[in-house]
Amino acid sequence: MNSAPLLSRVRIVLVHTFHAGNIGSSARAMRTMGVTDLRLVNPRDFPSDQATQMAAGATEVIEKAQVHTTLKDAVADCHMVIGASARLRELALPCFEHGGKMAQETMSEAEHGPVALVFGRERSGLTNEELHHCTHQLRFPTDDTYGVLNLSQAVQIACYELRNAWLESNESTSDSTSPKAQRPKASQLDYFEQLLVQLLTPTGFLNQPHARTEEKLNAIFRRSDMSSNELSMMTGALKALAGKRD
């Protein structure tokens, strides 16, 4: 099997990149592993001669890179969105602590549609609000006393693991198992959460001071890892309840 059909469904998303050279270095890291779909969310300087220079020949990745105004738009059609972040949040997402496991899950999900790996700013990474648009988190197993990775280094490690997982899946001779249920797109999750808030707001359930109820509910549903069909059923159930209430 050629790598293009499957690895082309893997999307690298860089959020608010400050240095154009890091965009070019990340494009080079991607291209060496056969990953070519680069998305940029509000980069400070792009297009840029420095980015093209640092890409060192991976110019097709730079030239085809798509720029988005929000992370939500960049991942709306993705079935799995993995945010790279060293910090564990209070309302944690399902977290990959091992790059190999992340890559295996990603390659499996890519059979169904696009997936995204999201990397944040060079200095501060991803915000809590940006991680809200992710379904999973990735923490690289760096040394406890110095876990600082350059942006393009992090992209290189992730893409290396993805290529290894793709190669291993091609070499596998094990019997095929039942197909894995397809995950919903990020836009479907967003719609479900907006519908839930719309229905709960008039009841006062979300108005408890400092309870962060809406945020906690969203975290529960994102951790549940529902399939697309299961989420459709839950959405239908909410609409049925809304219709009965009306």
Signed CA dihedral, 87, 35, 112, 65: sign only:
positive
Residue 191 or 116, more confident: 116
Question: Look-up: residue for tokens 């159930």?
Answer: 237
CB 186 within 8 A of CB 136: no
Query: Considering only CA atoms, which of 45, 59, 136, 40 is closest in space to residue 97?
Result: 136
CB 49 within 8 A of CB 75: no
Question: Look-up: residue for tokens 């999307």?
Answer: 11
Taken in order of first residue, the domains within the chain and their CATH numbers are: 4-171 (3.40.1280.10), 186-245 (1.10.8)
**String of b and e for 138-158 (b: at least 16 CB within 10 Å)?**
bbbeeeeeeeebebbebbbbb
CB 199 within 8 A of CB 242: yes
217-228 pLDDT, tens digit per residue, is 777 777 777 888
53: pLDDT strictly greater than 80: yes
Give CA 55 to chain center in angstroms: 23
pTM: 0.74
8-44 pLDDT, tens digit per residue, is 999 999 999 999 999 999 999 999 999 999 999 999 9
Amino acid at 166: W
CA distances from 179 to 109, 148, 170, 175, 176 (A): 10, 38, 16, 12, 8
Sequence-ordered list of residues with C-beta below 8 angstroms from that of 222, at least 6 positions apart, any chain: 93, 135, 189
**Band of the pLDDT at 176, cuts 50, 70, 90?**
very low
Cα–Cα distance between 171 and 20 in angstroms, integer?
38
Cα–Cα distance between 35 and 28 in angstroms, integer?
10
Count CB-CB contacts under 10 A for residue 226. Answer: 19
239: pLDDT strictly greater than 60: yes
Give the pLDDT confidence score for residue 209 in this predicted structure. 65
Sequence-ordered list of residues with C-beta below 8 angstroms from that of 64, at least 6 positions apart, any chain: 36, 37, 38
94-139 pLDDT, tens digit per residue, is 899 989 999 999 999 999 899 999 999 999 999 999 999 999 999 9
63-74 pLDDT, tens digit per residue, is 999 999 999 999
Mean pLDDT of the chain: 87
